[in-house]
Amino acid sequence: MIRKAVFPAAGLGTRFLPATKAQPKEMLVLVDKPIIQYGVEEAAAAGVNHIILVTGRGKNAIEDHFDVSIELETFLEARGKTEQLAEIRKVSNLINFAYVRQGEPLGLGHAVLVAAELVGDEPFAVVLGDDVIDAQPSALKQMADVFERVKGPVLAVERVPESEVSAYGVVDIAESLGDGVYRIKDLVEKPPRAEAPSNLAIIGRYILTPDIFPALRATAVDRTGEIQLTNGLRRLLKQRPIYGYEVKGVRHDTGNKLGFLKAVVYFALRRPDLAEPFRKYLKTIDGENRA
């Protein structure tokens, strides 16, 4: 059972400036829910009940979002707005939250290390909130089931176009174990296209074991000045098997503008209250663009 999930959320979100000048990028909204809540709900659906958010300066809105708001609850209660009340209570009741600050922007591997003490000596998940995955069962639940089977670290992987491999950690496969599960031979962080061992990219979900911590402590910063989780995993691979798993679902990379916009449209079209009028509207602007 995976009880804890680490959410690195210390990044500055410079790709979305000026929207992210005074607001964390994790709080940008897909329809009516902040991006990070999609990841939190996914983790909750996998049985996670402790979330460790690795934050930095200017991220208070995330803490407030997952906290109880007595003022708002009293207001909604007094006005008999029971539906909205239930919705916001769901958020604060979802799970336990702990916050730890990264301090310096030393990369994803460092963010995971900062959470070491709160994770303790048990397997845990890492969720990169930018990747929003629509899946049933939830992506992390699928991965937790694979973890039960293989009893080793599981990284979510996805085939990406070759032109995009240099934006990801890329895995080299030793063997396929069936049903989307692979044993990994090697992994490399953001290789040039010509040097990529495959087009199987690591996407933002990991189930890790606590032996990743000593491996990360022994991992030097790379040429970008960061400790890469991929390089820590590469070190750990010398000691134990590590697995890749192709999640069955639809992933949106909301960390770039086009991916973000696609995700807004995708989730709006899945909402019973919005799908029909929104689809109608989209058809009209498509016509205008062609005219």
Which positions touch ligand G1P (CB under 6 A)? 108, 128, 131, 168-169, 189, 201-204, 228-230
Amino acid at the residue 260: F
Phi, psi of 283 (to 5 degrees): -65, -40
Nearer to ligand G1P, 34 or 244 (CB): 244
Report in angstroms how near the CB of residue 256 gets to ligand G1P at its nearest: 10
Nearer to ligand G1P, 47 or 105 (CB): 105
Amino acid at the residue 234: R
Rounded CA-CA distance 164/110 in Å is 25
Report in angstroms how near the CB of residue 205 gets to ligand G1P at its nearest: 9
Rounded CA-CA distance 165/230 in Å is 14
**Torsion angle defined by CA atoms of residues 277, 279, 283 and 286, in that order, rounded to the nearest 10 degrees:** 120
Nearer to ligand G1P, 152 or 169 (CB): 169
Report in angstroms how near the CB of residue 231 gets to ligand G1P at its nearest: 9
Pick the closest to residue 107 from 233, 255, 7, 229 (CA basis). Answer: 229
Angle between helix axes 82-93 and 70-78 (nearest 10 degrees) is 160
Nearer to ligand G1P, 42 or 131 (CB): 131
SS3 content of the chain, % helix, strand, coil (to 5): 40, 25, 35
Rounded CA-CA distance 236/20 in Å is 35
Report in angstroms how near the CB of residue 130 gets to ligand G1P at its nearest: 6
At 122, is the secondary structure helix, strand, or coil? coil
Rounded CA-CA distance 230/243 in Å is 13
Report in angstroms how near the CB of residue 11 gets to ligand G1P at its nearest: 8
Nearer to ligand G1P, 34 or 107 (CB): 107
At 186, is the secondary structure helix, strand, or coil? strand
Report in angstroms how near the CB of residue 255 gets to ligand G1P at its nearest: 6
Nearer to ligand G1P, 91 or 130 (CB): 130
Nearer to ligand G1P, 220 or 285 (CB): 220
Report in angstroms how near the CB of residue 154 gets to ligand G1P at its nearest: 14
Phi, psi of 97 (to 5 degrees): -115, 135
| DSSP H or E run through 284 | helix 275-290
Strands 124-127, 200-208: pairing kind: antiparallel
Report in angstroms how near the CB of residue 77 gets to ligand G1P at its nearest: 40
Nearer to ligand G1P, 139 or 202 (CB): 202
